[in-house]
Structure 1
Amino acid sequence: MKLKDMYTFVKNDLNGIESELERSVHSTHPLLQQSGSNLLRAGGKRIRPVFVLLAAQYGRYDAQKVKKAAAALELIHMATLVHDDVVDDADMRRGKKTIKSQYDDKVAMYVGDFIFARALQLMTEVKEPAAHQLLAHGIKEMCLGEIQQIKEQFDTNQNVRHYFRRIKRKTALLIALSCQLGAIASGAPVPIQRKLYQFGYNAGMAFQLTDDILDFTSSEKELGKPAGGDLQQGNLTLPALYAMGAVPGLKKRIEEYYRGSGDLALILSEVKNSGGIEHASRVAAAYLQKAVSAANGLPEHAARSSLLKIAGYIGRRKF
């Protein structure tokens, strides 16, 4: 089953969010207009807006109101990707040239800022103060995650605890907030808001762990970016961290590669054969089980069925 087939009952509202995104990135400045349009055409799973719509089903569902929050969260996600590509010096994303490679770093940073500002503008139409407080806290934590990643880049002495804190801030938190803010925007009961946050957090951790696994196991065509790109950019993820503790000499070989003299093909092969992929898969499965448990604690609803199906998709996805 394809991802889009798991939430067909909100398909029309999701189309409305896509239109909202198009309006949001519109600008009278040609460069901003072209950059924003290119980002939207590059696609994406739109998993955050989907979670907003599904979570909002547990309250007084108002599509016009909820779509503002959903579009805002997707815009924040898009802005972080634009900024990430500058930090990582990435030329490709989703099989397309990044904004920084099409123009330059300065243009990319300001395009990201513009998109982020449009997200905040959309959020002003969500009147619940709690939504703004949570989003502000989430954005702060995301920034800390980005700074943490920069600080730990190329650091072979980092530990697994740092890795989990980093992916919580960079990925899981925004997915958790998507679930929670959808519930808040529709006035869902607080216990349900908490269950949805728990679902989103654990699904988000599994989502990022799966991304980090796929970076080693998928082809460049499937990923839309170079395979092994995380390790090349100095971002050591769980499979590599596990492998460094399991394979004698691997840590030294990675350090040599970062100094410009290592064999990347050998390193990638050793990571794949170390048991690190399997270990990361088990950790991702444990997070997914927690997400499923949280979803099973929700009242019976078509939205719950969709959340459970999406959790299953996260565990099976290949790109």
Structure 2
Amino acid sequence: MHLLLPLRIIRRYSSIPTATVSATVPVSSAKAEESAAALGALASLLTSTMASASASASASVSPSPSPSHSSFSQSHSQSKAEASWTATMAQAQNVVDRSGPSTTDSIINPQQLLGSDLALLTENIRKLLGADHPVLKSVASYYFMGTGGKHIRPMLVLLVAQASALTTASSSRQVLSDSLIDKPVSPQCTIKFDPSTTASSSSASSILPTQRRLAEITEMIHTASLLHDDVIDASLTRRSKPSVNAEYGNKMAILAGDFLLSRASIALARLRNIEVVELLSTVISNLVEGEFMQLRNSAKAKDPSAGLNKTNAHDSLDTPAPESLVPTRRSYPLFSSNVATARFEYYLTKTYMKTASLIANSCRASAVLGGCNEVVAEAVYHYGKSLGLAFQVVDDMLDFTVTADEMGKPVNADIKLGIATAPVLYAAEEFPELDQAIERNFKHEGDDALALKLVHASQGISRTRALAAAYCAEAVDAISILPDSDAKRVLIQLTEAVLTRKT
């Protein structure tokens, strides 16, 4: 079974399971209908193309699992399938391009559009992290020194604030008057470490003080997750320099991550918005659950006491499907015909928990703080979810296509950690000999080399790229209900940047 385009729009044209990432934003514009028709036609083409490619690959693969099998030969049928796939990929990119700004529109620089709201982000965060212990302050601020990091998440919070402001009546955009919230954080003011300090409002700005603070909270939560992830993964580099755990040790890295979360939690509580507190608290919970899912990888046993690698014919895969703000549960029996489906949905759910949840819920929280209605809040949530999934899927693809110097962190790390991502899962559909290596988490000698070889011999990378393009198209579709603005155009541009990024 091929799992390629988990899109709400495509569900009408394909039997591909899509519950994990389905969007529910109502769109009625002519542009959206045109996009839906194009995506529907594209889905049919993708399905038929991949069926043809799979048939060609299957015809050339013998029952022997040897990686030196003649399935690596370039037959005429494989070349034809590859040519068809290349054409299909071009159409997928065209769908995203047609949904975005026209070729006559100039590229908008988000840094210039957001101005000081984004430029002062790291400075404000550093001032929020004041601590009596100098080492703790130094470790917690390690990734906030200089201009490191892409700041994608806070940028999205601020862009959503601007783009959604046009949908809200000024009377509903209330600035909290509580003195703990309204304290200014401009460079001319002295800021204590108290996370209650917030940028003052300006009649010339469409971004509220609480939304600026939300952007800072989002980046603090993200950075805390990096600190903890690097300890778990024993990663020695991050952003082209030694990781915190490499520089200060695991204990200090864990404490620094906890400190960031505690500071973020205080700042979050002082926004005085129950829904926003719930949204960001859910994010922190999702980050932890997603990390556990990654540690378990294939989730062999429902009972943790049974051990991480124990399996039997009666086990079932309990897979959270993030169809809404709070993921539901779906159960898939293992050792059955739908094990590939269960494995891929497990991967997508883990991706939502670890990456997309923060982006999606932060986008929604930004709209909530701006006084937007439920339709707009849901629209930007689904934009963030789809963009977040695309971002991580591309990241998983880059693990096989760029160097460590380009990435600023080790490559091929997932396979070394026993983690099967989209390129490997797609490759396993063409080369079933990968299944056993995946099930044993690439622990046997030669498993990692086999996986790398088969990923590049298969269409795993190109199919992963198409999956990311599909998510980006879904993201663009989600915000089609927003009025035109520079901020909306940048949100669309970011979907294109995700597809073309190399780091």
In the TM superposition, 1:138-149 aligns within 5 A as 138-149=283-294
Which residue is 1:76 aligned to? 221
Whole-Å separation in 1 of the counterparts to 2:374 and 2:404? 43
Deviations 1:136-178 (A, max 9, x none): 2222222211111111179898711100110011111111112
Percent of residue pairs identical:
33
Which residue is 1:28 aligned to? 132
Deviations 1:277-317 (A, max 9, x none): 11111111111100011122211222111101111111111
In the TM superposition, 1:199-214 aligns within 5 A as 199-214=383-398
Question: Is the contact made by 1:65 and 1:125 (CA closer than 8 Å) also made in structure 2?
Answer: no
Whole-Å separation in 2 of the counterparts to 1:147 and 1:206? 21
1:116 aligns with 2:220: no
1:11 aligns with 2:115: yes
Whole-Å separation in 2 of the counterparts to 1:286 and 1:84? 28
Deviations 1:116-143 (A, max 9, x none): 1111121123122111122222222222
1:222 aligns with 2:406: yes
1:48 aligns with 2:153: yes
Question: Is the contact made by 1:68 and 1:125 (CA closer than 8 Å) also made in structure 2?
Answer: no
In the TM superposition, what is the alpha-carbon distance from 1:82 to its structure 2 partner?
0.6
Alignment-mate amino acid for residue 164 of structure 1: L
Deviations 1:59-118 (A, max 9, x none): 343443221111001100000111111111111112111111222222211110001111
Q: Which structure has the greater CA radius of gyration? A: 2
TM-score of the pair, normalised by structure 1: 0.92
1:37 to 1:275, Cα distance in 2 relative to 1, 3 A? same
Query: Could you tell which deviates more after superposition, 37-46 or 125-134?
Result: 37-46
Alignment-mate amino acid for residue 293 of structure 1: D
Select the residue among 240, 253, 259 that pairs with 2:443. 259
Unaligned runs of 5+ in 2: 1-106, 166-172, 174-205, 301-308, 310-338
Whole-Å separation in 1 of the counterparts to 2:139 and 2:298? 28
1:186 aligns with 2:391: no
1:239 to 1:78, Cα distance in 2 relative to 1, 3 A? same
Select the residue among 460, 472, 491 that pairs with 1:288. 472
Question: Is the contact made by 1:172 and 1:204 (CA closer than 8 Å) also made in structure 2?
Answer: yes
Which residue is 1:278 aligned to? 462
1:255 to 1:169, Cα distance in 2 relative to 1, 3 A? closer
Alignment-mate amino acid for residue 93 of structure 1: R
1:152 aligns with 2:325: no
Secondary structure, counterpart of 2:115 in structure 1:
helix
1:255 to 1:81, Cα distance in 2 relative to 1, 3 A? same
Question: Is the contact made by 2:158 and 2:207 (CA closer than 8 Å) also made in structure 1?
Answer: no
Deviations 1:235-270 (A, max 9, x none): 211111121232253344567884352164453232
Secondary structure, counterpart of 2:423 in structure 1:
helix
Cα RMSD, aligned residues only: 2.3
Instruction: Pick the structure with more helix per residue.
Output: 1
Question: Is the contact made by 1:154 and 1:258 (CA closer than 8 Å) also made in structure 2?
Answer: no
How many equivalent pairs are there? 317
Select the residue among 121, 125, 137 that pairs with 2:282. 137
Alignment-mate amino acid for residue 38 of structure 1: Y
1:152 to 1:255, Cα distance in 2 relative to 1, 3 A? closer
Query: Could you tell which deviates more after superposition, 219-228 or 34-43?
Result: 34-43
Question: Is the contact made by 2:415 and 2:448 (CA closer than 8 Å) also made in structure 1?
Answer: no
Question: Is the contact made by 2:279 and 2:362 (CA closer than 8 Å) also made in structure 1?
Answer: no
Whole-Å separation in 2 of the counterparts to 1:159 and 1:264? 19
Unaligned runs of 5+ in 1: none
1:238 aligns with 2:422: yes
Question: Is the contact made by 1:203 and 1:311 (CA closer than 8 Å) also made in structure 2?
Answer: yes
In the TM superposition, what is the alpha-carbon distance from 1:209 to its structure 2 partner?
0.3
Alignment-mate amino acid for residue 69 of structure 1: L
Whole-Å separation in 2 of the counterparts to 1:133 and 1:258? 38
Whole-Å separation in 1 of the counterparts to 2:371 and 2:355? 25
